[in-house]
Copies of this chain bind each other. A is one copy, B any other.
């Protein structure tokens, strides 16, 4: 487990989406999100090549400028290449089809923040059974059906999230189509925070959208 990781960073976790951000750039939206209260950024660009993702990661780290941890989706190699270039990438978020978490931890070292997506009871139980310190947090979802992740499994709903979340003692962020009105229920269900994609980057004003989520979290 990363000694640098504070689960409070999960409270408002923005996941980037290049398409939904248009015509704004991903780094611009990430900066606005952080100004509005986002506490962590995951650079996700499913259609990007390794080179494009590394460039995007560098641009987001620069735009966020240390105000929130930045992790990269899926590609451990982009985290490693960024670090080797001296870019302050804080870690990687891996899904069930990415490199296994033990391999990711071995490659990234103890300092990196490593998050893992988990949806089913089996996936959460498997994550809970990993050696201590392998992953820093879980991303549990999808809470609601979402267009930004077409391969996502059946939505859990808030009750389903509560049941899933109870299966692991790891810090957990809820993800998937979360609206501001869902936040209170998710926090009551044991979420350490909410991950928001389109709710921020498809908003007319991403900073205002982040502020709206942030207000709900702080209730």
Residues of A bordering B, CB below 8 Å:
49-52, 54, 74-78, 80-81, 84-85, 96-100, 103-104, 106-107
Interface contacts beyond A77-B77, A77-B107: sample of 19 additional A-B pairs, CB < 8 Å, sorted by A: A49-B97, A50-B74, A50-B75, A50-B98, A50-B99, A51-B96, A51-B99, A52-B97, A54-B99, A54-B103, A75-B75, A76-B77, A76-B80, A76-B81, A77-B99, A78-B99, A80-B80, A81-B106, A81-B107
- Distance between Cα atoms of A75 and B74 in the complex (Å): 11
Copies in the complex: 2
**Chain B: minimal CB distance from A83 (Å):** 9
Residues of B within 8 A of A107 (CB): 77, 80-81, 84
Q: Are A84 and B98 in contact (CB under 8 A)?
A: no
Interface residues of A: mostly helix, strand, loop or mixed?
A: helix
Residues of B within 8 A of A85 (CB): 103
Residues of B within 8 A of A74 (CB): 50
Residues of B within 8 A of A51 (CB): 96-100
- Distance between Cα atoms of A84 and B102 in the complex (Å): 11
**Chain B: minimal CB distance from A8 (Å):** 29
- Distance between Cα atoms of A76 and B77 in the complex (Å): 6
- Distance between Cα atoms of A80 and B104 in the complex (Å): 10
Among candidates B84, B103, B104, residue contacting A103 with C-beta atoms closer than 8 Å: B84
A-B pairs with beta carbons under 8 Å apart, 15 shown = A49-B97, A50-B97, A51-B98, A51-B99, A54-B103, A75-B75, A76-B80, A77-B80, A77-B99, A78-B99, A80-B80, A80-B107, A81-B103, A81-B104, A85-B103
